[in-house]
């Protein structure tokens, strides 16, 4: 194993980082949005809404992401109606298939986390807000969501790491992300160990930075959970005054 080879490998792998990061960002953002909608459905009073949301979450969480990905990438092409529809230019691309699979997969896990966060908001806080005359969207926007997000953030940070790792499956539908490039270098150079270790180091770095960033955000958002001398007043007023 020589250092020069590892250096070259790392440089080649760097080319895969943008696509890995794009997939991860789209999956996290899309998963969060869809997951949030599903969490609200889960918590609604309407039986059809919460039963279908519950079923969705159970089905997606019990199915391997690879099945979902192949179902979308290989399976949808089976329908000629779909192949001739306006959707096909998008659905025939591995990239968008990977994004859709990652978003669907992520949304089921995100939904459960958001649901937990929303359920954690105490009756007392809500009552206090109602006593101030807040209701409906205002109540949710100013009191419930801010509290729920703070509660859900640590668990969601794990979910984001899981999504970054999950993007590696895109390599199995021909995308040249970090894993895809690593697999191709490994098979052409017959030096799999340094290649996969280098690729692993890249993911580890991305996930470490991501975890750090979320932890910093969490710290900023929760001065009320720290001992008084560490909680800066500026953070409190900022969170309280800035319209969100």
Partner 1 sequence: MDLARTFELVGFGPDGWGAILLAGTATTLAAAFCGLLLSFVLGALGASAKVAGGPAARAAAETYTTILRGVPELLVIFLFYFGSSSVLGAIAALFQYQGFIALPGFLAGVLAIGVVEGAVMVEVLRGAFLAVKPGEIEAAKACGMNTFLRFRRIIAPLTLRHALPGIGNVWIGLLKGSSLLSATGVAELMRQTQVAAGSTRLPFDFYVAAGAIYIVITVSSGVVFQLAERHYSRGVARP
- Binding residues for partner 1, rule: CB under 8 A, are 58-59, 61-68, 70-71, 74-79, 161, 165-169, 171-172, 179, 182-183, 186-187, 190-193, 196-197, 199-200, 203-204, 207-208
- When the beta carbons of 85 and 208 are compared against partner 1, the nearer one is 208
**Which H or E run contains 55?**
helix 47-62
Shortest Cβ 10–partner 1 spacing (Å): 15
Rounded CA gap, 205 and 189, in Å?
Answer: 24
Q: Shortest gap between Cβ of 201 and partner 1 (angstroms)?
A: 8
The rounded distance, in Å, linking the Cα atoms of 198 and 154 is 28
Smallest separation, CB 178 to partner 1 (Å): 9
- Asked if 16 and 181 touch (Cβ cutoff 8 Å), the reply is yes
Least distance (Å) between residue 4 CB and partner 1: 18
If the CB atoms of residues 32 and 164 are measured against partner 1, the closer one turns out to be: 164
Closest distance to partner 1 from the beta carbon of 44 (Å): 24
* Helix axes 94-120 and 17-43, enclosed angle (nearest 10): 40
Identity of the residue, 43 or 76, whose beta carbon is nearer to partner 1 in the bound complex:
76
Give the H or E element holding residue 181: helix 178-189
| Smaller CB separation from partner 1, 130 or 212 | 212
186 or 239: whose CB is closer to partner 1?
186
Distance of closest approach, residue 155 Cβ to partner 1, in angstroms: 13
Tokens 């298939």, located at residue: 97
Q: Are 20 and 178 in contact (CB under 8 A)?
A: yes
Handedness of CA 195, 200, 203, 205 (dihedral sign): negative
Distance CA(56)–CA(52), nearest Å, equals 6
Q: Answer yes or no: are the C-beta atoms of 31 and 100 closer than 8 Å.
A: no
- Tell me which residue of 199, 197, 208, 43 sits closest to 117, measured CA to CA: 43
Q: Residue 17 or residue 239: which is nearer to partner 1 going by CB?
A: 17
Judged by beta carbon, residue 58 or residue 237, the one nearer partner 1 is 58
Q: Quote the least distance from Cβ 122 to partner 1, whole Å.
A: 21
Query: b/e string for 82-98 if b means 16 or more Cβ within 10 A?
Result: eeeeeeeeebeebbbbb
């Amino acid at each position: 194993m020589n250092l020069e080879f590892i250096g070259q490998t790392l440089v080649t792998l760097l080319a895969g980082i943008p696509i890995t990061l794009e997939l991860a960002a789209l999956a996290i953002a899309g998963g969060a949005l869809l997951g949030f909608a599903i969490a609200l459905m889960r918590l609604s009073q309407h039986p059809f809404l919460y039963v279908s949301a519950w079923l969705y979450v159970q089905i997606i969480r019990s199915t391997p992401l690879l099945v979902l990905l192949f179902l979308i990438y290989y399976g949808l092409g089976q329908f000629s109606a779909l192949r001739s529809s306006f959707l096909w230019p998008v659905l025939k691309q591995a990239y968008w298939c990977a994004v859709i699979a990652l978003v669907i997969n992520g949304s089921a896990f995100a939904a459960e986390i958001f649901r937990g966060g929303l359920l954690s908001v105490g009756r007392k806080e809500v009552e206090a807000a109602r006593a101030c005359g807040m209701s409906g969207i205002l109540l949710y926007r100013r009191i419930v969501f801010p509290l729920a997000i703070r509660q859900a953030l640590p668990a969601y940070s794990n979910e984001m790491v899981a999504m970054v790792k999950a993007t590696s499956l895109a390599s199995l539908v021909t995308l040249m992300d970090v894993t895809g490039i690593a697999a191709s270098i490994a098979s052409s150079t017959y030096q799999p160990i340094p290649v996969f270790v280098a690729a692993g180091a890249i993911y580890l770095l991305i996930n470490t930075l991501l975890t750090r960033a979320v932890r910093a955000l969490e710290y900023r958002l929760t001065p009320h959970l720290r001992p008084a001398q560490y909680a800066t007043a500026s953070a409190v007023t900022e969170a309280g005054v800035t319209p969100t």
